[in-house]
Structure 1
């Protein structure tokens, strides 16, 4: 059975634009997903990337066109300049890690709910109340926001080191058990084709 490691940031607009496409593909192919939130900003200097506010004006100008285009293409709402960006991605990542360990809810819905909170709902995902709401909406115990913080921090750090070691340099980033790597929400079709044996 195929397996997918999903490296993502709860602040990435491209992870938001992936929607629940990964989950649909995984269900179609019977492929379990391991969700691996990691500190994308910490990965950038180690993998050749640059934070948005430090990029060349040509790159930021292109991003300003590309994100709204991609949102329109997918029929998804998007606030290009959300009220709470950037913010601390760690608390929401810890909650996702705790939820994955605890089970009992829809992890894909939780991840998308957190991203939607940033890019649509103008909510600060560093706030416990927002995280609890996202947990509850996805069928998880909202008190997971307060549990396993040390373990969450350790896993979050380990995910970063693993991501860098495995060649992850952006988000969303998908790696199959055949070590095939797919970067970006616009590569989900390729991931689907690969799992079908067509690519």
Structure 2
């Protein structure tokens, strides 16, 4: 069974725009997804990237245009300047980690629900009530938001180290063996790779 190491950030607009296409591709090929939430700003710092707010104005203008275009192509609502962004990604990431270990619901739906809450629903995904609602909607016990905080923090930090070692430098980032795919617009290439056509 192929394994996809999926490095993502719950506050990333491009993780949001990935939707559930990764899960669809994985199901098609019988692949396992290893969900690895991480601090994407720390990843930028470790791999030569620049946080969005510190980028040159030219890059910032392009970023907003690209987000709008990609969202329109995908038929997904998006608020280009959400009221609660940037926000602390750690609480939602710890909840995802707790959900992974719990295994009773749909992790992909949880990740997408958290990203959608940030980028389309004007919710602060650092807030416990928002996290609990997303957990519940994805089939998990909302009380998971209060469990395993220390273990979650340790795994969250470990995911960053693993991402750097695996060659990741942004989010979403998909790794299959030695093959690396950066961005939601490369899911089709990941699909072709898993099919043996790329």
Q: How does 1:133-148 map to 2 (within 5 A)?
A: 133-148=133-148
Q: 1:79 aligns to what?
A: 79
User: In the TM superposition, what is the alpha-carbon distance from 1:72 to its structure 2 partner?
Assistant: 0.1
Q: Which runs of 5+ in 1 are unaligned?
A: none
Q: CA contact under 8 A between 2:4 and 2:174: conserved in structure 1? A: yes
Question: Per the alignment, in what secondary structure is the counterpart of residue 105 of structure 2?
Answer: coil
Alpha-carbon distance between aligned partners in 2 of 1:20 and 1:109, rounded to the nearest angstrom:
7
Which runs of structure 1 show a deviation greater than 6 angstroms over 4 or more consecutive aligned residues? none
Distance 1:18 1:84 in 2: 20
1:194 and 2:183 matched: no
Is 1:184 the equivalent of 2:177?
no
CA RMSD in angstroms comes to 0.5
Distance in 2, Cα, partners of 1:3 & 1:165: 17
Alignment of 1:33-112 (within 5 A): 33-112=33-112
* Residue-by-residue CA offset, 1:119-168 (whole Å, 9 max, x unaligned): 01100000000000000000001000000000000000000111112111
Q: How many residues align?
A: 198
Q: Distance in 2 between matches of 1:93 and 1:73?
A: 28
User: In the aligned structure 1, how far is the partner of 2:109 from the partner of 2:64?
Assistant: 27
- Distance across 1 between alignment mates of 2:45 and 2:106: 33
Asked if 1 retains the 8 angstrom alpha-carbon contact of 2:40 and 2:171, the reply is yes
**Partner Cα separation in structure 2 for residue 167 and residue 21 of structure 1:** 22
CA distance in 1, matches of 2:144, 2:64: 35
8 Å contact 2:9–2:15 — kept in the other structure?
yes
What's the TM-score once normalised by structure 2's chain length?
0.99
SS of 2:44's equivalent? helix
For 1:12, the equivalent position in structure 2 comes to 12
Unpaired runs of 5+ in structure 2? none
Give me the whole-angstrom Cα distance separating, in 1, the residues matched to 2:64 and 2:136.
33
